[in-house]
Amino acid sequence: MLRIVADTNIYISALFWHGNPYKLIHLCFEGKAKLVVSKPIIEELERVLLTEEKFRMEREDVAMYTRIILSNADLVAPNFTLKVIEKDPADDRILECAVEGEADYLISGNKHLLEVKEFQGIKIITAKQMLDIIERGS
């Protein structure tokens, strides 16, 4: 089964809009691919959903969403630090998760990550590209 790491922006888009990130996350929940997450990804997701003005969700709702993600994902704990994305070092946490979780793909809408294209054999692509790959494999 394909192993994928979704960037925080994918989880946020999946929660609020019904576009490609939503379709992708729900296909993973249905067992079409395996999500891989790390504590830093969950923490960033919680921070954004709780504090950013345009979201400001209730703590209970955020906790429920993260529980759903965690119940459908492999949780990994990278014990190393990467320094790859100079323009946004926080994106290195996403790469660390992908490497530690032996992901096949890293899914993002973030241009700093998408510009890398591939890292240690992990392809970095958009949600739409991942949907196309899953559909071809079905």
pLDDT value for 97: 98
Share of the chain above pLDDT 70, in %: 99
- In this structure, what token pair is assigned to residue 41? 């990804």
Rg of the chain (C-alpha set): 14
Mean pLDDT (whole number) for 107-118 = 94
pLDDT value for 89: 82
Question: What CATH number is associated with residue 34?
Answer: 3.40.50.1010
Starting at the edge strand found earlier in the chain, the sheet holding 73-76 runs 73-76, 34-38, 3-6, 105-107, 122-125, 118-119
Q: Is the pTM of this model over 0.85?
A: yes
Domain count, the chain: 1
Beta strands in the chain (DSSP E): 3-6, 34-38, 73-76, 105-107, 118-119, 122-125
Contacts of 109 (CB under 8 A, 6+ apart): 7, 9, 10, 13, 21, 126, 127
User: Domain span at residue 125?
Assistant: 3-137
Asked if pLDDT for residue 138 goes beyond 70, the answer is: no
Three-state SS at 76: strand
